[in-house]
Structure 1
Amino acid sequence: MITTPNPPKSVDELMQRAQDMAGLTLGQLAQLHNIRVPNNLKRDKGWVGQLIEHELGALAGSKPEQDFLHLGVELKTIPIDSQWKPIETTYVTVAPLVNIQGLTWEQSLVYHKLQRVLWIPVEGMRDKPIKDRQIGMPILWTPSEQELAMIRQDWEELMELIALGKVEQITARHGEVLQLRPKGANSRSLTQSIAADGGIKQTNPRGFYLKIPFTQQILNNYLAGI
């Protein structure tokens, strides 16, 4: 039987749990909770994140709020290679494509989610069996004013393009640190978005992602401070 640990009562307790988990393999952690390890992550893309959430007692699941809302902390697992380099961009949250008139940066989910982030590095090398991939030391990150300003600038530019009905013209190259990309089960997933004439059209859902150089810098700053 799989039981979910109680949510941590404080940031210190959360960090203690995360530090206790560091050094374990995904297989060892899964075994502690009687959770089956998948053979690959193609069909179970969110499995690693869900396992870590389970161990740390996160409650949000897929809700549009911080994973530890009562602590003001968002949880992000970050797959890394043997050199501690991120392997992929980091999903932040789904992007609103309609009803965005008057939406400000401070009201946005991107701003809300990135106020304080607990990063859990996990080995993500494709040639290493999932069960043998090791969990790294946690990093509790609060963005600096400069980092927040960079994210905000990208968010405002991307939201302006969405408001102008130009969502289809946005590519992963837009944005210095934040990008907008399709986010759905497949290309057949559709949602409403603003059309160029101000009406409504169908398009693929989009998500906000932090680019690799940005998360790389977070990891570098942590490693420099060890």
Structure 2
Amino acid sequence: MGDRYANPGGHGFVCGGAASWGLRPLACLAAVCRAKSTSSTQRRPLPELKKVYVYDNREAAADALIDELQTEVPFTLIKGKSPEEVTKSCEVLSSATIILKDPLSVVKKEWVSAGQTILPCDLNTFWDPEIARSAGKYIVDSIEEHELFEQMGYFPAGLAPIAGETGEVLAGVKPGREHADELILNSNIGMAVCDVTVGRAIYDRALATETGTLLNLKPSPRNARS
């Protein structure tokens, strides 16, 4: 249940950072229903992580992912048998499937338990919408963006009450997990401003290290100003 982005590590780092404040003390078990980017970037923000369950509705894809990454990560990768098994086995859950207006509700509310941290990268597609409503905190990367999605019809039952933004929690402006039994749901869809910021950092580093190839981008005669 994963996909790949032009910025392949972006969602992984954001989810890892969010998980670090969402976890209970000494938590070391996580579930990642995601492509390579999320799994491979979890080693930094979650140093105590011991196990990651990987589930894909294409079993061969899950096997290939585990074979590719196991030697690169310091935790054990385990192939999950089903969304229910993964949900009930783990403290941290992340999904990146497809974004649809009508939720698929693959993960049922009754499978989720107190104290878990849920990190969807696919709006409310994969999760029963009632999970967000029952969460102790529903946190998003951008309130404005999620409200826009709601206006576009991506939350048919309405957007759940939002406790704050991911950046506010990471900056200490608003609280993350406040007690061990709190259910945290943190929706990080991605923002263009983050991609632009990372792009500028990469560009500046390339100039400083004289790395990369300069492209001579000339305007075509059709678009050239007179």
TM-score, scaled to structure 1: 0.23
TM-score, scaled to structure 2: 0.23
